[in-house]
Amino acid sequence: MGLLKIDKEKCLGCGACIDACPYGALDLVDDVVVVNEKCTACGACIDACPVMALLIPRLSGGDAERLSAYRGVWVWIEQFHGRMCEVSAEMLGQGRRLADTRGTALTACVLGRNVEHIAGEAVSYGADHVFLADDPLFESYRTIPYAGTLLGLVREHMPEIFLLGASARGRDLAGAMAADLHTGLTADCTGLDIDADTGLLLQTRPAFGGNIMATILCRDYRPQMATVRHHVFELPIPDRTRQGQIVRVAPALPEEKVPTRVVGFTEETETVHLANAKVIVAGGRGVGSAAGFEPIRRLADMLGGAVGASRSAVDAGWISYAHQVGQTGRTVRPDLYIACGISGAIQHLAGMKTSRVIVAINKNPDAPIFQVANYGIVGDLFAVIPALIDEFKKRLAVTPGFGAEAAEAVLTRS
């Protein structure tokens, strides 16, 4: 295991590399250094060797032929209790676009129990081929059987791009697979594209605390792996008439070889439905206290929406983390996002700027949130929100089932 190569002819057996290795990945056997499975190819040992007997071969130049053997875009289709997770459909939409740009096929990998219907759904969202592993072993997500089966498929069919949703399960699976494949993985991408000259996947994501956007390339290893959070990309429109090829595959290992068991599921006690809310009313440091969220809650209730928050409000302990929107919270894409007392820091915008309509209420006319807002109200949120509620109440009297569109109509008139 390991990418490190040792030239046994050159090795003096001096042990300098063993001392330099932070992972305990090198041992001395018969006066020659050998590498074990703990090697991460970090390269710390290379400079320690006095005779340059250690090498981490990089794929480049002469490996172009080898890299070109990798073809196709793959998406892991996450499902829970027999339902495809929305983020996977979003990934299929992006995968379709990337596959078309590369002139290649889009393949979906569906693992689960009684999930044949999801294979058909994946085709309707753009997949040309589906690998369907339908087996009791995959009833609940577990890293070892899921990663083992997908790794076998990747090694056999060699896709050039592999995409996963950045959910808890997707993050776990992506990391396990990338480490085993010795390839790069860009987590939480906010943009995916193909470089017109090189054909490489351009993986864009916030870096340095969200202050810059970095575009990351995986030049030398395959597949190029990326995760994307829910709602970053639009949900494609399914085409139920699409035809695709479904290939059934067997699990890579039997249940007896899986060391983990799922003993049950516990529902979260706090139900915050930010992800699918059509309307979100969010409060920031400007609400001033936990009690300051009261008008925000009333407005959200009136609009049938959910309550969001900035990290400052969460860090202050005014509201729980489950409500946090932004780079380190949830990414949301409601029809209407009302930001109250939120300045509009880049890390907050990263989680909500693709909302269809953004309303900002802030007493500072220069607050950056106004640059992304469709409607801006300069004023004290404790005066503006009750006025909005009154206005919405009048409208509610004539329009049952008040929602984002009606709210937008009221705001346009106000």
Ligand X SMILES: Cc1cc2nc3c(=O)[nH]c(=O)nc-3n(C[C@H](O)[C@H](O)[C@H](O)COP(=O)(O)OP(=O)(O)OC[C@H]3O[C@@H](n4cnc5c(N)ncnc54)[C@H](O)[C@@H]3O)c2cc1C
Give me the torsion for CA of 157, 163, 168, 174, rounded to 10°: 50
The verdict on 307 binding ligand X (CB under 6 A) reads no
Least distance from C-beta 138 to ligand X, angstroms? 33
Instruction: Select from 230, 231, 311, 333 the one that contacts ligand X (CB under 6 A).
Output: 311
231 versus 311: smaller Cβ distance to ligand X: 311
Least distance from C-beta 234 to ligand X, angstroms? 21
Q: Identify the burial level of 255 via C-beta atoms within 10 angstroms of its C-beta, where 0-12 means exposed, 13-18 middle and 19 or more buried.
A: exposed
The verdict on 403 binding ligand X (CB under 6 A) reads no
Q: Chain-centre distance of CA 250, in angstroms? A: 27
Q: What distance in Å separates the CA atoms of residue 15 and residue 27, rounded to the nearest whole number?
A: 8
Site for ligand X in 378-397 (CB under 6 A): 380-382
The verdict on 310 binding ligand X (CB under 6 A) reads yes
Cβ distance 147 to 180 under 8 Å? yes
Instruction: Select from 93, 145, 184, 284 the one that contacts ligand X (CB under 6 A).
Output: 284
List the beta bridge partners of residue 358: 337
Q: Which stretch binds ligand X (CB under 6 A): 7-15, 30-38, 170-178, 280-288?
A: 280-288
User: What's the DSSP call for residue 37?
Assistant: T
87 versus 122: smaller Cβ distance to ligand X: 87
Site for ligand X in 342-361 (CB under 6 A): 342-343, 345, 347-348, 351, 361
364 versus 371: smaller Cβ distance to ligand X: 364
Q: Which stretch binds ligand X (CB under 6 A): 26-34, 35-43, 218-226, 363-371?
A: 363-371
Q: Measured between alpha carbons, how far apart are the two ends of the chain, in Å? A: 67
Helices marked H in 248-305 — which ranges?
294-302
Least distance from C-beta 227 to ligand X, angstroms? 17
Q: Any long-range contacts for 289-292 (C-beta under 8 Å, 24+ apart)?
A: 289/318, 290/317, 290/318, 290/319, 292/318, 292/341, 292/382
Would you tell me which residues interact with ligand X (CB under 6 A)? Answer: 209-210, 284-286, 310-313, 324-329, 341-343, 345, 347-348, 351, 361-364, 367, 380-382
